Amino acid sequence: MRRVLLWMSALFVAAVLLPELGLGQLLAHAASAHPAYTLPPEKLARAEALARTRTLLYFGDALWGLAVLYLLLRTRAASTLEAWIARHAQSRAVQGLQFFALLLAIATLAGLPVDVYAHWVSLRYGISVQGWGSWLLDVAKALGLTLGIGAPVLLLFNWIVRVAPRRYWLWGWMAAVVLMVFSAFIEPLAEPIFNQYEPLQKSNPALVADLEKVVARMGTRIPPERMFLMKASVKTNGLNAYVSGLGATKRVVVWDTTAGRIPNDEILFIFGHESGHYVLHHIPKGLACGAVFLLVVFRVCAGMAGWLVRRFGARWGVQALAGRAGFVVLLLVASVASFALEPVTNAFSRHFEHEADVYGQEAIHGIVADPQRTAVAAFDDLGAAWLETPTPSPFVVFWTYSHPSIAQRADFALEYDPWANGGRGRFFVR
């Protein structure tokens, strides 16, 4: 495993050297003398304790997932399962579906204790209000989708490895890109499985009228029929809004906790932020960057997986990558790569989120009395709702945060006023 560790170290060093939100910038920002985002002492203590727990859960869950895959190989459980299924099913396709369905079920059940503890923590800190029965139902739904979709997808990739042993990484990459685009397109169609949605116009017509002022300023068209309210309050006290879908399925979603708890001016800023993702084409840009990134990752993972089979295959009962157990080796290497490259993917995400913050603040210029204070107030409310610490570890932000920290976002919002001296915004002239 020494080569795996060296490879991970090299990737980590490369990530540290990224100019976008590198450790140096995070450390410099953490030293801000006058933070815009603060919490009262009692809530601050809870937020700091929760931050430590979240960090342990994040890294513990990731490392435990890797350990489960490794143990399946090291104990020969994967090869034993493959042989057992081969004796009881004649069709190769049925064998594959059974193997991967059981593999996914094992992985899900192995991670269930961590998920249970995470939900208990969320309840304890008052972020979640979802009862255990409803939560378990969501877990069951997720498992059903995982088995119904994940098993055939893994079977497809396993088939690609078998029929194209030399170039499977290239064909697998092509299939992955298609699946990424398709997943982004159908995501809004799957969301109602877990949550209830309704047109925002139905329950918040006055808010929609205010939102249309922002839409008019953007000079684009986001019709009310693409604005939805999600009934999040039955499960959480958190605040959120987001954009999902592609083309005909693209839409903006506002949680009812957001629409019902904070002032409309702040909702306009959040809507401007989410509309920034919509207008600035962050979803297709993310897919394009992800596709290029995956090509390199797939090629490196293929080489590493081949080396592991040659080095440890006999010990693990794995004869070739094309076998079912051999495919677990690929999954292990891909999981290691995903974990090691988390800082890189999160850096791209933070860049998009920062762009959306700028866009949102510029979008409400001239509509609300004080765009700077409005944006800061929105971040204060978001941070308080999710109990985010104002002083997160720069390393934790660098590795785990898909958004800039609330403290970073609030500090930037307080200082950002490109029109103060007759200037112009990044995305708006006036």
CB 246 within 8 A of CB 283: yes
Q: What is the pLDDT at residue 13?
A: 37
Instruction: Return the structure tokens found at 26.
Output: 């995070």
Query: Cβ-count burial of 219 within 10 angstroms (0-12 exposed, 13-18 middle, 19+ buried)?
Result: exposed
In a domain, 382, yes or no: no
pLDDT of residue 34: 63
Distance from C-alpha of 128 to C-alpha of 115, rounded to nearest angstrom: 13
> Cα separation of 392 and 402, whole Å?
14
Count of residues in the chain: 430
How far is residue 262's CA from residue 265's CA, in Å, rounded to a whole number? Answer: 8
pLDDT of residue 430: 72
Nearest to 428 by CA among 281, 214, 249: 214
Virtual CA dihedral for 253, 259, 261, 267, nearest 10 degrees? Answer: 80
Q: What is the pLDDT along the chain (430 residues), one digit of tens a residue?
A: 333 333 333 333 333 334 334 444 444 444 455 688 999 999 999 999 999 999 999 999 999 999 999 999 999 999 999 999 998 877 889 999 999 999 999 999 999 999 999 999 999 999 999 999 999 999 999 999 999 999 999 999 999 999 999 899 999 999 999 998 899 899 999 999 999 999 999 988 988 898 889 988 988 777 888 899 999 999 999 999 888 888 888 888 999 999 978 999 999 999 999 889 988 999 889 889 889 989 999 999 999 999 999 999 999 999 899 999 999 999 999 999 999 999 999 999 999 999 999 999 999 999 999 999 999 999 999 999 999 999 999 999 999 999 999 999 999 999 999 988 778 889 997 7
Cα 176 to Cα 337: distance, rounded to the nearest angstrom: 16
What local confidence, expressed as pLDDT, does residue 58 receive?
A: 97
* Residue 387 in domain: no
Residue 221, CB half-sphere, CA atoms under 13 Å: how many? 2
Q: Tell me the two tokens of residue 209.
A: 């009228």
- Domain of 117 in residue numbering reads as 41-193+298-339
Residue 107 lies in a domain: yes
Residue 49 included in any domain: yes
The string of DSSP codes covering 81-127 is: HHHHHHHH---HHHHHHHHHHHHHHHHHHHHHHHHHHHHHHHHHTTS
In a domain, 114, yes or no: yes
- Burial of 419 (C-beta count, 10 Å sphere; 0-12/13-18/19+): middle
Q: For residue 271, is it within any domain? A: no
Residue 32's φ and ψ, nearest 5 degrees, are -55, 130
Count of the separate structural domains present in the chain? 1
> Which distant-in-sequence residues (6+ apart) come within 8 Å of 104 by Cβ?
146, 147, 150, 151, 154
pLDDT at 329: 97
Cα–Cα distance between 354 and 347 in angstroms, integer?
10
Residue 320 structure tokens: 């070739």
| Cα atoms found within 13 Å of the Cα of residue 324, Cβ hemisphere only | 27
SS3 427: coil
Six-digit token string for 74: 């090291």
Inside any domain, residue 258: no
What is the structure's pLDDT at 306? 94
Residue 21 domain-assigned? Answer: no
Give the separation between CA 425 and CA 222, rounded to whole angstroms.
22
Q: Identify the burial level of 189 via C-beta atoms within 10 angstroms of its C-beta, where 0-12 means exposed, 13-18 middle and 19 or more buried.
A: exposed
pLDDT of residue 243: 82
The pLDDT value given to residue 8: 38
Q: How many CA atoms lie within 13 A of 176 on its CB side?
A: 22
| CA dihedral (198, 204, 206, 210) positive or negative | negative
CA neighbours within 13 Å on the CB side: how many for 118? 15
Contact between residue 290 and residue 378 where contact means Cβ atoms under 8 Å apart: no
Q: Do residues 348 and 283 touch, judged by C-beta distance below 8 A? A: no
Q: Please spell the DSSP secondary structure of 142-174, one letter per residue.
A: HHHHIIIIIHHHHHHHHHHHHH-TTTHHHHHHH
